[in-house]
Structure 1
Amino acid sequence: MEKVYFIGAGPGDPELITVKGQRIIKDADVIIYAGSLVPKEVIDCHKEGAEVYNSAVLNLEEVMDIMITAAKNNKKIARVHTGDPAIFGAHREQMDILDENGIEYEVIPGVSSFLAAAAAVKKEFTLPDVSQTVICTRLEGRTPVPETESLESLASHKASMAIFLSVQMIDEVVKKLLVHYSPDTPIAVVQRATWEDEKILMGTLENISKKVKEEGINKTAQILVGRFLEEKSNYSKSKLYDKYFTHEYRTGIKK
């Protein structure tokens, strides 16, 4: 019986899928891709005769029926998710069902949209003496968020934050962040990072809501917040490349 491959397709740019992920898509007999967020160009490399399904119009049972039937018929299946499937990818429930049916699977990681957003604004989440922690979260919508993970409680750490699936509630996001962050805290909203129509808004907690509404951004956007976004952030340089610092591969110069 063949495997199911869960593939992270990356944030949008068809060239940001991994070499391994693309190789499996090229060789797959059945491809199920999240067509609402994965550009069709990502899977256009498929072989002639491959069965292609857009999971945007399917429910979980329909997706699993396609996968299980194909696997039992010894067909290689590429289940293509946006970004990296481990972050808001809803692939755990699929893997559990495959386990129940004795079907083997493998996960091929991909570039998450929060990393693509950081690349788009040319910033580093983990600046020494600014932040060494990245919090990936979302505001509660139709999917609940555990009470212990409320946005205002996470904001108390003042770490670098990447907020998914929440730009349509930007006023509420700002309100909750302001419980702990100061109004001048920098914030970026990146819509469709790496796509041809990528849009970047830079601002502060004081003005970002207005900017988002003026641009009509209400979906497919990352919200990044934290002092790591400052143009002249007061950070320390890395010890790894400090000429006075000794480590396993290099002896530092004596001062």
Structure 2
Amino acid sequence: MSGKVWIVGAGPGAPDLLTLRAARAIESADVLIWTDSLVNPQLAAMAPEGCERIRTSTLTLEEVMDCMLDRVKAGLKVVRLHDGDTCLYSALNEQLCRLIDADIEVEVVPGLSAYQATAAALSSELTIPGLVQTIVIGRAGGRTGVPESESLERLAALKASLCLYLSARHVEEVQAELLKHYPAETPVAIGYRVSWPDQWLSVIPLKDMARISQERQLIRTTLYLVSPALAAPGEPRSKLYSASHNHLFRGGID
């Protein structure tokens, strides 16, 4: 007999930012394997009474997979709960490979990402016509490195809305690289534990990014949004809603 594995994105932290599909998966789990170092404990508490809850902060990926395979082969519904979204820095691929090799049925449930929650908390749009139309998600090289073609230098050269994860430990190097491509006054949103009760969120000039991060002693669970779109709202607007713009559902005004 074999059960099923749900790999679920928990979102940035706040329980009410969990998707309905994710909530239903947690609420019906026989086994919850959750990233307790990053996921809000309130989400783990949503699992039913009698659900086995396995914390992963002290486990290797191999140990996590052994737990998962053992329970699912016993016919149990296993929910693997990750912080954020499953498609970003979640080790999804490694887990899928093991599960598929074991002929285990898997369903992946996306979650809201921290960059989206941060932009929403600031009432900001990261793509503004005539100003910036591209969002780039990346990280500093750090210990694990990044491909040369995706170096911070190359990403910053686009001058897009740049969302940097896992980069607070290297903030001095990050700021120095960004200043080669963005003006020193470019707005940078620094978000710490966005959507949690102890959230700290501030928009500062790029030139102050390292200093403020170090003053706040930010090392983990910190996101940087670097974008001219974070400046005060101005005139640029989407053509989609312009009276002069034709599209499939609305004729324009000549």
What is the count of residue pairs matched by the alignment?
A: 253
DSSP-derived class of the 1:217 partner: coil
The CA deviation at 1:253 is 2.4
Q: Is the 8 A contact 2:12 2:112 kept in 1?
A: yes
Contact 2:166 2:221 in 1 (8 A): yes
The one-letter code matched in structure 2 to 1:130 is: L
Distance 1:141 1:214 in 2: 21
Cα distance change on mapping 1:233 and 1:181 into 2, 3 Å: farther
Choose 211-220 or 189-198, whichever is displaced more. Answer: 211-220
Deviation of 1:206 (Å): 1.5
Tell me which amino acid in the other structure corresponds to 1:114. Y
Q: Tell me whether 1:76 sits opposite 2:68 in the alignment.
A: no
- Alignment correspondent of 1:180: 181
The one-character-per-residue Cα deviations of 1:91-116 (angstroms, maximum 9, x if unpaired) are 11011001111111010000011111
Aligned counterparts of 1:142 and 1:233: Cα–Cα separation in 2? 40
Task: Give the aligned residue type for 1:187.
Answer: V
Aligned to 2:141: 140
**1:201–1:211: 8 Å Cα contact kept in structure 2?**
no
2:43 & 2:233 partners in 1: Cα distance? 37
Query: 2 CA distance for matches of 1:213 and 1:147?
Result: 27
Cα distance per residue 1:76-100 (max 9 Å; x no partner): 0100000101101111101100111
Please give the alpha-carbon distance, in whole angstroms, between the structure 1 residues aligned to 2:117 and 2:169: 20
Shift in Å at residue 169 of structure 1? Answer: 1.6
Letter in 1 for 2:246: T
1:1-255 pair list within 5 angstroms: 1-233=2-234, 236-254=236-254
- Gaps in structure 1 of 5+ consecutive residues: none
For 1:171-197, what per-residue CA distance to the aligned partner results, in whole angstroms no more than 9, with x for missing partners? 111001112112121111111110111
3-state SS in 2 of match to 1:57: coil
Q: Which moved more, 1:108-117 or 1:237-246?
A: 237-246
- Measured in 1, the distance between the counterparts of 2:248 and 2:212 equals 48
The root-mean-square deviation of aligned C-alpha atoms, in Å, is 1.2
Contact between 2:179 and 2:207, CA under 8 Å: does it hold in 1? Answer: no
Deviation larger for 178-187 or 220-229: 178-187
Q: CA deviation at 1:75?
A: 0.4
What is the percent sequence identity of the aligned residues?
Answer: 40
| Counterpart secondary structure, 1:218 | coil
Q: Is the 8 A contact 2:5 2:106 kept in 1?
A: yes
Query: Is the 1:9–1:80 Cα contact (8 Å) retained in structure 2?
Result: yes
Which amino acid in the other structure matches residue 240 of structure 2? L
CA distance in structure 1 between the partners assigned to 2:234 and 2:134 by the alignment: 16
Residues 134-160 of structure 1 show CA distances to partners (whole Å, capped at 9, x for unaligned) of 110000112111111111111111011
Unaligned runs of 5+ in 2: none
CA–CA distance in structure 1, aligned partners of residues 219 and 97 of structure 2: 33
Counterpart AA for 2:35: A
Question: Does the 8 Å CA contact 1:201/1:212 hold for their aligned counterparts?
Answer: no
The aligned amino acid for 1:246 is N
Seen in structure 2, the aligned counterparts of structure 1 residues 233 and 88 have a Cα distance that, compared at 3 Å, is farther
Contact 1:118/1:124 (<8 A) preserved: yes
CA distance in 2, matches of 1:122, 1:217: 23
How far apart, in 2, do the equivalents of 1:74 and 1:233 lie? 57
Q: TM-score, normalised by structure 2?
A: 0.96
Deviation at 1:233, TM superposition (A): 4.5
Runs of 4+ off more than 6 Å: none
